[in-house]
Structure 1
Amino acid sequence: MDRLVAIMARLRDPVHGCSWDVAQTWATIAPYTIEEAYEVADAIARDDAADLKDELGDLLLQVVFHSRIAEDAGTFTLDDVAAAVSDKMERRHPHIFGDADATPGWEAIKAAEREGQSDTSALAGVAVALPALMRAVKLQNRAARVGFDWPDGDGALAKVHEEIAEVATATGDAVEEEIGDLLFAVVNWARHLGIDPEAALRRGNAKFERRFRGMEGIAGDAFAAVPLADKEALWQRVKHG
């Protein structure tokens, strides 16, 4: 870790460092941070331990990079980051690091931490920058904790059908809004079924890609020119083959 920190400090040196690294800000490298987190998730999904090691290194580099930018600005250091999260983990596990008889749950402790903040909503702190599916789940979970939720999956499913009907009758700019409502309702239904919609969609993407590539493999270079009805036949062949 000390070596990595020293490398980043050298790269950010305004005189002898790398001009690209020196020019970066939290905002400019944030997209890379998000990308690296997804690559970690992808390595896990593929059960590739060697790749996971590399991707975790790339993600760690992002933490070091952000911290170095802050240190250059005199805001905080990597040690401050590590100390803050260490304090947080100990605070949120009092039954392990403190009073053995402590009973408050994780969410109760987090809620207490939010006391005194200007935003007192049950939805406070759900990051806007999260992927939309993930943020929808978090918003719905927060709402459910204060009693705003369907009692079971049947209500959530009925809402999906209601939103489908509204999409079908919408026109103009309202179509996008209604599609958004439909996607939100589907996420809610998945939540009631105990399914992570982000993971489910990743699997759906992978399945589509696998089958599509299978069709291309059968048809070869002529695939684009194959009539749609024949493409459908190829799809069914790959699907059931």
Structure 2
Amino acid sequence: MRRRLTALLLALGAVLAVPGVAGQAQAQAAGYRYWSFWQSGGTAWVYATQGPATARPADGSVDGYRFSVSADSQDSAKPRTAPSFSQLCADTPAKPGTKRVGVVIDFGTEADAPSGEKPPSPSASGCAAVPSDATSAEALAAVAKPLRYNSDALLCAISGYPRTGCGEQVSAGDPAPAESGASAPPAGKPSGAVGGEAAGGGPTLGLFAGIAAVLALGGAAFWQSRRRG
């Protein structure tokens, strides 16, 4: 009995220790390719709590947009420049009934670009003079047309970039869009596994959890057999 349990524990431990198996669990979906929306907190970018279609920035605000691949809002890439409102709107005089909103657009890196496309360079910035009740989307449209949205009002393209795709899931090591029609915007972590296999075909964390549970049960049985002995 002890020999069988020991052999079981060693075999399952070896499975967990194989680098290729562990690596497959980390090589699943890397995230989503999309435009993230930021607002200036005065000294740093802060991830916006509303989408640009509903956010209504105050006069003197600065909005930022960054195109990148990220798993969720916790690891989204920020715009790489953070000019102040005074820098962006120094040449735009205030007018009654309007507000001024600074806009910063970071088209991201070539590594984040869809297959066959290159991000415009350099990144763009400007000052939008819009009605006092205008949304961030309206401020963006004032300085960076054409914009493209999908049927769920997800911002897909700024100044025509990218030409296709909208919030599509991207697999690790594969920068090409999964579908040009796009999935929903990331609302947390990417979904994925069906049964013991992820969409990419590799083992998921559930599989490793099952192996760990077998190891734990095997260990308990081993020590119980020792006590009886």
TM-score, with length taken from structure 1: 0.22
Of Structure 1 and Structure 2, which has the larger fraction of its residues in helix? 1
Q: Which has the higher contact order (CA 8 A, sep 6+)?
A: 2
TM-score, with length taken from structure 2: 0.23
